[in-house]
Amino acid sequence: MLSVLPSRSAADACASPREFLQRSQAALGSGDHAAGLEHAEQALQHAAADSSERAEALTQQSTHQWRLGRFEDAADSGRSALALWARLANDDQRCALLCHLAVAYSELGLHEEALRHATESFDCARVHGLRGREVQALNRIGICFERLGDPAQGERFLLQSLGEARDMHDDDGTLVALNNLVATTVGACHLYKQRGEHDASRQAIERGRSYATQAVALARRLGDAYRQTVIEGNLGEVLGLLGEHGRALGLMHEVARRADEHGYRSVSLRNRCNIAEVMLAQGRAADAVPELLPVLDALRQRDHEATRMRVHSALHRAYKALGKFEPALAHCEAHHAMELQRAALQNQAQARLMINRVEVEHQLALAERARQVSR
């Protein structure tokens, strides 16, 4: 006689917070972040107040929200997790959450907050001897430099983070550093091009190709579905900037399809913007506009600041090429307003950035001397 299997709801009712957390963690690897978020929220419902299980559930909730493109929600959950890890005196997890929040704030355009959280993580890791977290924080500081208009310094810190991660045989840290190096060299390519420094722009994006190729190979070996999708999209963007338009479009269309299938909202929107940018480079302004307009409609007011700016810039250029000067002007003005706001936020962070750069370099020099003495 066949036994009757319990329904999913009945099985879930009997599950412990730890079981929900294990399901959520498994979803992080498989890339099923919608299901993972559901499991994390179920763990939250069952976890005791001020318990490590509740802190883990909040942390995983924030990570799933981030990968689903819900940046503001991810920041809210991350702040709650950070406060709880602090109450539990778990310095390792506190350092990790500070880094996670630094990236979230960068994506929201809150550069001062991003920098503060990244350097607080670095300081915490140094005080408590958490070398892996120190490397992670160094990575996030590199991102902050790039977002604040200094990609050369950003690349320098990221290369140091990459070297440290490789020395520790930390595949995850290596992958994150390589991916962020790709983003930094793309930023450098655009910045140098705006300045008319075309040789420097080309050199930056060639370095980006090298970083992206290494990152794709490592991501495929590690089998993280989300990161593989992100990194292959970044490689597509690099190929587009190198003028390899056919390869770029083929890769980015596949990445956008996969991102839509898994609900990776931010990855999909960014890749669709990149597809339109390649179309513009091919002289296909009429094709680029219908690709860009749905992307702009899908973007929230605060989420995806960098992507919204790029969409407005691309629409300005597309409409101008089509001789439609009224919408071209409207998108030019929208981009300019966002650029002014970003510049104001960047200026607020510049003094902190310089102080932090000196302090971080001093601490890194001390750490290197200590390692030399111990050998």
pLDDT tens digits, one per residue of 259-306 = 999 999 889 999 999 999 999 999 999 999 999 999 999 886 555 777
7-11, 88-92, 182-186 — which is least confidently predicted? Answer: 7-11
Cα angle 352, 358, 362; round to 5: 140
- 20, 103, 112: which is closest to 65 by C-alpha? 103
Q: pLDDT at residue 360 above 90?
A: no
CA–CA gap between residue 331 and residue 294 (Å, rounded): 15
Mean pLDDT within 98-126: 89
The pLDDT of residue 8 is: 46
Q: pLDDT at residue 7 above 50?
A: no
Q: pLDDT at residue 346 above 50?
A: yes
Q: pLDDT at residue 38 above 90?
A: yes
Q: pLDDT-based confidence at 353, cuts 50/70/90?
A: very low
Query: Which residues 6+ apart lie within 8 Å of 90 measured at CB?
Result: 52, 55
Q: pLDDT at residue 175 above 70?
A: yes
Cα angle 305, 310, 313; round to 5: 130
Domain with CATH 1.25.40.10 in the chain: 19-89, 106-223
Phi, psi of 243 (to 5 degrees): 85, 5
Mean pLDDT within 182-199: 93
For the chain, the average pLDDT equals 87
Residues 196 and 163: beta-carbon distance below 8 Å: no
Listed as own residue / partner, the contacts of 105-108 with beta carbons closer than 8 Å and 24 or more positions apart are: 105/75, 106/143, 106/144, 106/147, 107/71, 107/266, 107/303, 107/304, 107/305, 107/306, 108/71, 108/72, 108/75, 108/302, 108/303, 108/305
Q: pLDDT at residue 371 above 70?
A: no
pLDDT tens-digit series, residues 51-94: 999 999 999 999 999 999 888 899 999 999 999 999 999 999 99
Mean pLDDT within 7-18: 62
CA–CA gap between residue 255 and residue 184 (Å, rounded): 20
The pLDDT of residue 149 is: 81
Percent of the chain surpassing pLDDT 90: 70
Torsion over CA of 4, 7, 8 and 10, rounded to 10 degrees? -110
46-55, 69-78, 342-351, 353-362 — which is least confidently predicted? Answer: 353-362
The pLDDT of residue 69 is: 86
CA–CA gap between residue 234 and residue 184 (Å, rounded): 11
Question: In this structure, which topology does domain 106-223 adopt according to CATH?
Answer: 1.25.40
Residues 174 and 162: beta-carbon distance below 8 Å: yes
Q: What is the CATH number of domain 19-89?
A: 1.25.40.10
Q: pLDDT at residue 362 above 90?
A: no
The pLDDT of residue 354 is: 47
Q: pLDDT at residue 211 above 80?
A: yes
Mean pLDDT within 169-194: 94
CA–CA gap between residue 37 and residue 14 (Å, rounded): 19
Residues 252 and 271: beta-carbon distance below 8 Å: yes
Q: pLDDT-based confidence at 338, cuts 50/70/90?
A: confident
The pLDDT of residue 214 is: 97
CA–CA gap between residue 89 and residue 91 (Å, rounded): 6
Listed as own residue / partner, the contacts of 48-53 with beta carbons closer than 8 Å and 24 or more positions apart are: 48/17, 50/84, 50/87, 50/88, 51/17, 52/88, 52/90, 53/17, 53/18, 53/21
Query: Which residues 6+ apart lie within 8 Å of 295 measured at CB?
Result: 269, 272, 273, 276, 307, 311
The pLDDT of residue 125 is: 94
Q: pLDDT at residue 6 above 50?
A: no
